Amino acid sequence: MSIEGAYEITPVVLGDPRGNFAELYKEDVFAAEIGHPLRIAQINTSTSARDVVRGVHWADVPPGQAKYVTCQQGALVDFVIDLRVGSPTFGRWESVLLDTVEKKAVYVSEGLGHGFRSLTDDTVIHYLCSAPYNPQREYVIHPLDPQLNIDWGVTDPVLSARDRNAPSLANVRADGRLPDYKACLEYRSSLRN
């Protein structure tokens, strides 16, 4: 993707009259492209109704929490938001359609914000996470913040209380809670060793 540290992965889907098959993650291929293997410390799944928006979430770096995101049922639009102060793409976001047809995945490296919008009822999303959830190191920005100007594709999204009451990008930045771009690059470089 055009945001450094964000990747769209498109597997080869093989099909026959029985159904289909795809390799969603291969450690050697991933490591060759990203520069290090993905340490899987936690696997999360969530089920969402149509027009649910979850995000914008990220964790302190180091260690951060990289995510390898796939859709197991239904369809969603996955969003990566560059929240790294000093990044040439700070404040920019990109989106990828994840569904059960193309079976794409998105890799969100440490320091990047993440969110998604469910396009169908009972959409199931899986996250392979590089670090366990730690509520003292996890942060959120209001997904409808006008400064981010994310086009979620829905005018009245369903939000959790946490997301609905989240601070703005400006407030989080003023509080010094956004990740530093150089620190994120240094941490990711340490994973190569």
Residue with tokens 């086009």: 151
Residue with tokens 């976001």: 93
Three-state secondary-structure class, residue 25? coil
| 88 CB neighbour count, 10 Å cutoff | 10
Report the pLDDT averaged over residues 154-160: 96
**Catalytic residue positions?**
57, 127
Q: What is the pLDDT of residue 23?
A: 92
Q: What is the pLDDT of residue 95?
A: 98
Residue type, 193: N
pLDDT digits (tens, 9 = 90+) for 54-112: 999 999 999 999 999 999 999 999 999 999 999 999 999 999 999 999 999 999 999 99
The pTM for the full model equals 0.95
Q: Average pLDDT over the chain, rounded to whole?
A: 96
Q: What is the pLDDT of residue 190?
A: 94
What separation, in Å, do the N-terminal and C-terminal C-alpha atoms of the chain show?
Answer: 24
Burial zone of 43 (CB within 10 Å; 0-12 exposed, 13-18 middle, 19+ buried): exposed
Cis bond before residue 167 (omega within 30° of 0): no
Question: Which residue in 83, 81, 87, 77 sits closest to 117, CA to CA?
Answer: 77
Q: Does domain 6-192 have CATH number 2.60.120.10?
A: yes
pLDDT-derived band at 179, boundaries 50, 70, 90: very high
- Eight-class DSSP state of 136: T
Counting residues of the chain whose pLDDT is more than 70, the rounded percentage is 100
pLDDT digits (tens, 9 = 90+) for 108-138: 999 999 999 999 999 999 999 999 999 999 9
At residue 164, φ and ψ (nearest 5 deg) are: -65, -35
Q: What is the pLDDT of residue 86?
A: 98
Distance CA 151, CA 184 (A): 26
Report the pLDDT averaged over residues 24-46: 94
Token pair listed for 163: 């997301």
Residue 193 has pLDDT above 90, yes or no: no
